[in-house]
Amino acid sequence: MTKDPRGRKPTYHLGSMIVGDMVTFDAPTKEDVKRIARNASQYGLRNGRFYRCSTDKVTRQITLTRIR
């Protein structure tokens, strides 16, 4: 089997978001919330983008919004 030269497929598809887009993910544990928020933050730092994360503690979902 040959390796894909483009690397791993994106998990969260942050690169395709435009300003104002919102996407919601299930985050059943606090570790999931931290991982998703950290990944969005790191992607934003590396690519000059800004994301806002908000967590609904009742439904255990995290919403990412691209703000810049």
Residue ranges of domains in the chain: 18-66
Structure tokens at 16: 């395709």
CA 68 – CA 58 distance, rounded (Å): 28
Chain segment 1-56, per-residue pLDDT in tens: 566 677 888 888 899 999 999 999 999 999 999 999 999 999 999 999 999 999 99
pTM: 0.82
| pLDDT attached to residue 3 | 66
pLDDT value at position 34?
95
pLDDT, position 62: 96
What pLDDT does residue 1 have? 52
